[in-house]
Structures are given as C-alpha cells and as structure tokens.
Amino acid sequence: MISEADLYQVRPMLTLTPLGEDGHFNNMLITGLVNNMETQERLIWNLGLTVTEKGYGGVNVDFEYILPEDRDQFSAFVGRLTRVMNQFGYRVSVALAPKTSRNQQGLLYEGVDYKALGEAANEVFVMAYEWGYTYGPPMAVAPLNMVRRVLDYALTEIPGNKIILGMPNYGYDWPLPYERGTTKARTMGNIEAVQLAIGYGVPIRFDETAQSPYFHYWQYGIQHEVWFEDPRSVRAKLNLVEEYGLKGAGYWQLMQLFRASWLLMEDQFLINKQSDQTGDVRNRSIDG
C-alpha cells in the first residue's frame, strides 16, 4: 500500500491510536503516555524508526476521549513529536473532535485544546462527523449547519491553512422507533444506501438544512430510516473548503468506494500531488 501511495505521489501517514485490548480507545493509555517523559521518548524514537523503515511521510495522532486533566500534557506531547519529526522531514497531523466552543463539555471534547494543538502540529484533521452515529437517534452523519458551527469556532483558534475538514464516507440505517440505549444503527456505504432505496422502491429525499439525503423503508414489519452521503452533500462540504480558506479535506474512511467523491474533487480542485514531505496546498488545491 505504501509503495502504491508513492507510485501515485500520495503521502502515506502512520496513524497513532491508543487502543486497549478490547479494540476501543483507552484514555488510561493516554494518561500513561503523556505523563511519562521516558515513555514519550521511547515512543517517538520507535515512531521515527517505523516511518523511516516503512516509507511513511509522517504521523497522524488520533487520540480520543482524552481526560480533561491530561489536556495540556497531550498538547505538549504532540508538540514534542512534531519538533522531532520535522527535523527529519516528516509531518505530524492531529485528529480533533468536532468542538463548537472552547469550554465545550463532554469527555470527547474537554481534553482537546484547539489552539494549543493547532500550534503543536503541522496540520489538524477536524472530525466533522458522527452527529448521526451507531447508538444515537436518526439524523445526518455530518449536517452542514453543524459542520459550519465547528469551522466557525475552529478558525478562532487555528489558521485555516492548517485545517483539514474531515468528511464521512458512509451512512447509517436505523430501525424505528428509536429507543435510547437499545436501538443500534447499521453502518452502510453510500452506494449501498442508494441500491437499498431502489430495491424497496422508495424516494430519496434531501434535507436542505443538513444538506444530506435520507429515506425510509419497511422491512419485515419494521420501518427504517437511512441517512447517507451523495454528490449533493459532498459538494456542499467541499464548498466549505473554499469558503473558509481551509488547507483541504479528507475522508473517514476509504474502505467504502464512492467514486463520485473523487470526481467532485477533481472537478472543483487542483489536486496537489506530492511525493515529498514539503508540499503545501494553495489556491483551490487539495492534498492528494
């Protein structure tokens, strides 16, 4: 995969994620790292060896559910990692939960300091999705009105040329009625969602506020509600890159092929292909 990335002049990034034995984010692992300098030095050394040996172009730090008391130490760790990696020509990005204010409450948000992390890393990836999620009520995964609120706040803390807008490449199918704590939505690809609507002969509607498509269908006596992404919703989010003067956009995740996204990007932006670690994005361009 790394060789293919090099062939197409795409910078492959190693993602650093603190997963526990159960496969979920573990904030105790984060606490142990950011409060122990020896552990940080050992990790940074090993990351340097790995990106060099494997041919990565840098490191993406994706830490979630950071404890509020680890907020400053986490930012300091990212800054330390960035300084070391930059000395050898590698870049560091950090994934940010979608905050709408500096003191936003909630475990997902309180340990994330937009200003400090924006200064610490070379760029940030704002995860502007998951308003509609597996155990939540049916709604758009990335409603445009909420994405705007996140960007409005982010730009008060971080320069636009450091911000990559994270976009969803998937949708959810909820059985109805929704019961909190019980209902679980099924993840699906965007093409799968359209095929499902066609198969059940139901119309796909479009929410103008969320700028997202949705539909309802019945199966085995149970009604379902589906929200996903289509060319209209993707275009609406890509327009924000230009409107807000952002560095670019990125997807989570790429395992569900949705060719329309790439066609829209090629139509709207000059794709900045780069095989080294020094490229920048300017004037209607986007990282490739």
Candidates 53, 64, 229, 243; catalytic one:
64
Phi-psi bin for 20: left (phi > 0), alpha (psi -120 to 50), beta? beta
Q: Which residue has the tokens 């679980």?
A: 184
Active site residue 53: no
225 neighbors 174 (Cβ within 8 angstroms): yes
Q: Give the type of residue at 61.
A: V
Report the distance separating Cα 121 and Cα 78, nearest Å: 6
The answer to whether 87 touches 127, Cβ cutoff 8 Å, is no
CA 19 to chain centre: 17
Whether residue 177 is preceded by a cis peptide bond, meaning omega within 30 degrees of 0, is yes
Cα separations (Å) of 184 from 141, 142, 170, 188? 14, 18, 16, 13
What whole-number distance in Å separates Cα of residue 3 and Cα of residue 233? 32
DSSP state of 261: H
Supply 201's token pair: 């002969």
272 is written with which tokens?
A: 């900045």
Q: Pairing mode, if any, of strands 163-168 and 212-219?
A: unpaired
- Rg of the chain in Å (alpha carbons): 20
Catalytic residue ranges: 64
